[in-house]
Amino acid sequence: MPKAKTAAIAARKKADAARDLADRKHVKAMLKLVMKSLEDDKAEDIVAIDLSNKTPMADYMVVASGRSGRHVGAVADHLIRRLKDEGYGHARVEGMTQGDWVLIDAGDIVIHVFRPEVREFYRLEKMWAADIPEDVATL
């Protein structure tokens, strides 16, 4: 293989590695913001599940509970605003009007905020995270 071609391949691999590192840092910063927002708004039973080796749809799924429909809506609304204010774009949102379960798709992270009864019914974290402790998986 010619030296120029070998050098080009090495440069491309180095650039890809740098881009992957930047992407991971971006996702970790977003996850930190999501977790802090949920904690600040007194969401309960917050679980972050690493999906990076399970599905290409997202790197993380975060599941949390609100105490009531109104609390679920407020927690979700505050999180959506914080994501936008911090430059993470406009997240796609489902379920804000019902208040039982709000889904926030922020691209690399998907956030579910439930009323406790609805969360218990769907048990998303148990389905996606066979490797998390049983006491967390059976919320």
Look-up: residue for tokens 């969360």? Answer: 119
Burial bucket for residue 60 (CB in 10 Å: 0-12, 13-18, 19+) = buried
Residues 99-113 have pLDDT tens digits of 899 999 999 999 999
CATH number belonging to domain 31-137? 3.30.460.10
Q: Where exactly are the structural domains of the chain?
A: 31-137
- Rounded average pLDDT over 50-77: 93
Q: Is the pLDDT of residue 96 over 80?
A: yes
126 three-state secondary structure: helix
111 forms beta bridges with: 62, 104
Residues 22-55 have pLDDT tens digits of 688 989 999 999 999 999 999 999 999 999 888 8
